Amino acid sequence: MAASACKYTILLLSAPLGSGHKMAAEALEEAFKKHGNVKVVNGSAFDFFPKWLGNIILGGYIGILKHIPKLYDIAYHWSNTGNNSFWLRDFLNLLLSYLAQGFIKKTSPDAVIVTHPTPAGVMAQYKKRCAPGLWLGAVITDFNFHHWWIYKGLDVYFTADESIQPPPELGIPAVVTGIPVRSAFSAPFEREKWRSRLGYAADDTLCLVMGGGDGLLPMPELLRALTECRDIKGLKIAAVTGHNRKLAEKLKKMALPGVMVLDFIAELPQLLRSADIVISKAGGLTAAETLAIGTEFILYDPLPGQEVRNAGYLCEKCEAKIAATPQEVCGFVKKYAELGTEEKNSLRRRRRAAYGKPYAADAVADFVLKTLDGLDHN
């Protein structure tokens, strides 16, 4: 056991390739900290190499998604076919495991939970070389299983659904918990009170547009199309731009009627829970949060790769809508806005009960700690 005043030390590792992996780790940190005998260290695989290199990787990732999505699609499917791509992956992970070695030994974790394939590979290599008894779990933050999650050193996968399974021949179990979301999505919530606080009436149709911070959602075009649909009953729009100040300024200068432009806000969970409709990309974390509250969910033009696969799952199993154009978005919004208030509330409650897993982070934390207790007793 790690030398610590606490009973266990848990290391969480994510990667900043999309905000969802980091947010899942933050949700897990909340859940583990509910247990008073646990020390939590929350880190990123990008901490293991120079910041300038991380900026190049992140910039290249966003640039390819934005400007050459077909190239990303090719890379995604090639890497999902198996052995032809594993040599490159394993070489990079081995290199990173040496760079990470000092940090991991200093942290001295009893268990490591990863929320992205890269730290999964790094830790699998480290475990093989330095710590064969280290317990290693992986949280799949999409609604599908990609082959770059395959590592023999893992002890368990945590997945969103029983249909999301690793290859049986791998011999690693999958535990269905859902994708971890922050506790704010399960805390007591007075919806009408929050809507009033945010400036929205009970009969307004509040449409939350988010996911444009990296420039991957054409927010100006979407907002203009929505505001030009004059026959949408009680339409109000909240546009969340994240840390993209340039986009926020552009939207504010457009001065579109009924549109509130918000940058990064701490009360985003409350805003999500106050909304009638969420329009976003098909990221796994955003989807898990939206399912946890049962809100009408419109996925805009999913990107090749995991977004297309997420969207397929969400449309088939969770009643999400997929729109390829701003006009299709308007059609979905108009149809939903025509529903009565009680019908909207009933629909939201039913979807939340059927598809939401707001306690996924607690389920992961409980499983890990019970497993460690069992190892101690043995």
Please check whether residues 295 and 202 belong to one and the same domain. Answer: yes
Task: Give the Cα separation of 292 and 352 in Å (integer).
Answer: 6
The pTM assigned to this predicted structure is 0.91
Ranges 135-149, 150-164, 234-248: which has the least confidence: 234-248
Judgement on whether residues 224 and 114 belong to the same structural domain of the protein: no
Domain presence at residue 3: no
Calculate the CA dihedral of residues 221, 227, 229, 233 and round it to 10 degrees: 140
- Give the separation between CA 378 and CA 214, rounded to whole angstroms: 48
Q: Do 206 and 288 sit in the same domain of this protein?
A: yes
Query: What's the angle, vertex CA 69, arms to CA 326 and CA 312, rounded to 5?
Result: 65
DSSP state of 140: -
* Shared-domain flag, residues 222 and 165: no
User: Per-residue pLDDT averaged across 201-215, rounded?
Assistant: 83
Q: Which of 181, 242, 233 is nearest to 207 (CA)?
A: 233
> What range defines the domain where residue 177 resides?
8-181+358-377
How large is the average pLDDT for residues 57-70? 77
Burial tier of 173 (Cβ tally within 10 Å: 0-12, 13-18, 19+) = exposed
Q: Which of 355, 377, 15, 375 is nearest to 185 (CA)?
A: 355
Same domain? For 151 and 235 the reply is no
Q: Is 53 a member of any domain? A: yes
Q: Report yes or no on 89 lying in a domain.
A: yes
- List own/partner pairs for 308-316 with CB under 8 A and 24 or more apart: 308/282, 309/142, 309/143, 309/144, 310/142, 310/143, 310/144, 310/282, 310/283, 310/284, 311/282, 313/143, 313/144, 313/161, 314/143, 314/282, 314/287
DSSP E strands, 29-76: 38-44
Query: Model confidence at 4, in pLDDT bands (50, 70, 90)?
Result: very low
Find the CATH number of the domain harbouring 363: 3.40.50.2000
- Does the structure show a pLDDT above 70 at 82? no
Render pLDDT for 10-21 as a digit per residue (tens, 0 to 9).
999 998 877 889
User: Do the beta carbons of residue 12 and residue 28 sit within 8 Å?
Assistant: yes
Q: For residues 10 and 366, give the distance between their C-alpha atoms in angstroms, rounded to a whole number.
A: 12
137 and 100 part of one domain: yes
Q: Is the model's pLDDT at 267 over the cut of 60?
A: yes
Q: Report if residue 2 sits inside a domain.
A: no
Residue whose pair of structure tokens reads 């059927």 in the numeric block = 354
In a domain, 1, yes or no: no
Quote the number of domains for the chain: 2
Mean pLDDT on 29-56: 87
Do 88 and 12 belong together in one domain? Answer: yes
- List Cβ<8 Å contacts ≥24 apart for 249-258: 250/220, 251/219, 251/220, 251/223, 254/220, 254/223, 254/224, 256/223, 256/224, 256/227, 257/227, 258/227
- Residue with the bigger pLDDT between 342 and 361: it is 361
Note whether residue 298 is domain-resident. yes
What is the model's pLDDT at position 57? Answer: 77
Tell me: do 123 and 144 sit in the same domain: yes
Residue 60 pLDDT > 60? yes
pLDDT over 60 (residue 190):
yes
Q: Residue 374, Cβ neighbours under 10 Å: how many?
A: 9
Asked if pLDDT for residue 81 goes beyond 90, the answer is no
**Six-digit token pair at 44?**
């990123």
Shared domain for 144 and 270, answered yes or no, is no
If you ran DSSP here, which 8-state letter would residue 73 be given?
A: H
Please report, rounded to a whole number, the percentage of residues in the chain having pLDDT higher than 70.
Answer: 96
Q: What is the mean pLDDT of residues 144-163?
A: 93
Q: Are residues 236 and 258 in the same domain?
A: yes
Question: What per-residue confidence (pLDDT) applies to 378?
Answer: 59
The pLDDT value recorded for residue 252 is 93
